Chains A and B, each alone.
Chain A
């Protein structure tokens, strides 16, 4: 429940951003984040709300870490969490 998953903003409509998480798209609320967010930015998503914009210099490393988590086996709690967050995020497939 606690893990924040990073994703890339595809488009924004008011306080709702469509965010891409490894090919799964999901609408995320922007009510809480205090920085300005634009398409192309990465945001940290926490239970359906962006809690912060991920600084550009960090985005790449964060994504690399998550790429690896997504490949790891299910025995690994962190990767299991990431996978279940993405699964729960549901939304539409495909880029």
Chain B
């Protein structure tokens, strides 16, 4: 496995270097001699960097960079939100990250439940929820979403002797298995993955080696500054062109092959992977993180009798049925393919999950002008 030293002196935004990288990227795509090559990144922060710095304009014709299931808010499945909403409606205090408040389940979001009088708190992180539980006597359930980077924080909090009235409703997800699903999806055109630097800081890039073996597809770990993204894409196209599938680490200033061992140890001491649904992506074997038996006392699912059927008395909003979040996260539709985009569905009144978080594709597209990549949209439509 090869490590590409991305010059530590790179100014992350140096336009001359960006132009040079983009020119090399164009050469590589051109040398591939076919059109188009499709790659996927699985991190909302990558999409933000691409949109914010106008990087799509620097991508050559013939390179399609699509966003996969990379936003933890977006992939939290409807039944998981339903569980949190049902719990809150039953009178239990639920605390969660701000983004999660507006994600709708079948019927309501936690924000809707709060408007109806449920006790829902926004916390900055799990430690704040633990502090809240220490302060008040009543049960506090932390609705925990996020990938491995965030799950580690939940794990650390549970290992640090939380009060008995604290528990966790885990909607945590683990990224590597979902890449398998996307790679095997019928009709998927993805030829390589740009993996997220922060998540790989925890897991190490070694975690992608079995995937590369199995799917004969390269994975490149990249950081989040504009030049990191361009350099990562350049290595990815090179790897595709070489025909030799491999893992390339273009973020060695943070990511090692082993990753953060201590973090992994905390993570797997508390969580076990189980199969389960991701919103829109279908069932992902080993893609969900649940609390191990040792932590049963802190597992809201075991502690409370969560009755989601109590929600069915409310009529589901009709608009939700038109939402195409699933296809967007699978990389087969663009936000503009959704008839609600920018009309019935906006960041002030999101219909689907992709419009909620600042890492959601629909919200990013709407904020940065709706058509960050006109060229590619047209090509996909034709």
- Contacts A1-B357, A52-B201; A31 near B156 (Cβ below 8 A): yes
Partner of B358, one of A4, A48, A80: A80
Q: Scan residues 46-77 of chain A and give those whose CB is less than 8 A from a CB of chain B.
A: 46-49, 51-52, 55, 57-58, 61, 65, 75-77
User: Once the chains bind, are A48 and B149 in contact (CB under 8 Å)?
Assistant: no
Partner of B260, one of A34, A75, A77: A34
User: Once the chains bind, are A47 and B260 in contact (CB under 8 Å)?
Assistant: no
Interface class of chain A by DSSP: mixed
The interface size of chain A toward B, counting residues with CB under 8 Å, comes to 32
User: Once the chains bind, are B260 and A51 in contact (CB under 8 Å)?
Assistant: yes
The reply on A84 being an interface residue by CB < 8 A is: yes
User: Once the chains bind, are B159 and A31 in contact (CB under 8 Å)?
Assistant: yes
In this complex, the member of B98, B146, B198 whose beta carbon has the largest number of chain A beta carbons within 10 angstroms is B198
- Contacts A2-B359, A76-B52; A29 near B152 (Cβ below 8 A): no
- Contacts A32-B266, A48-B125, A52-B201; A1 near B146 (Cβ below 8 A): yes
The interface size of chain B toward A, counting residues with CB under 8 Å, comes to 53
The reply on A40 being an interface residue by CB < 8 A is: no
Count of chain A to chain B residue pairs whose CB atoms are closer than 8 Å in the complex: 118
User: Once the chains bind, are A2 and B263 in contact (CB under 8 Å)?
Assistant: no
Name the A residues within 8 Å of B11 (CB-CB): 61
- Contacts A1-B98, A2-B359; A49 near B125 (Cβ below 8 A): yes
- Contacts A2-B45, A4-B198, A77-B48; A47 near B124 (Cβ below 8 A): yes
The reply on A90 being an interface residue by CB < 8 A is: yes
Name the A residues within 8 Å of B262 (CB-CB): 32-34
The reply on A89 being an interface residue by CB < 8 A is: yes
Q: How far is the CA of A42 from the CA of B266 in the complex (A)?
A: 23
Q: How far is the CA of A73 from the CA of B70 in the complex (A)?
A: 25
Q: How far is the CA of A46 from the CA of B146 in the complex (A)?
A: 11
Name the B residues within 8 Å of A61 (CB-CB): 10-12, 225
A-B pairs with lowest CB-CB distance, top 4: A48-B125, A47-B125, A88-B124, A31-B156
Q: List 17 A-B contacts (CB under 8 A).
A: A1-B98, A2-B45, A2-B147, A29-B127, A32-B152, A44-B198, A46-B153, A47-B125, A47-B150, A48-B128, A49-B152, A52-B201, A52-B254, A55-B253, A58-B8, A77-B363, A81-B48
Beyond known contacts A1-B72, A2-B147, A4-B149: 18 more, CB 8 A cutoff: A2-B146, A29-B160, A31-B156, A32-B260, A34-B263, A47-B126, A47-B146, A48-B126, A49-B156, A52-B254, A57-B9, A57-B253, A61-B11, A61-B12, A65-B13, A77-B364, A77-B367, A88-B124
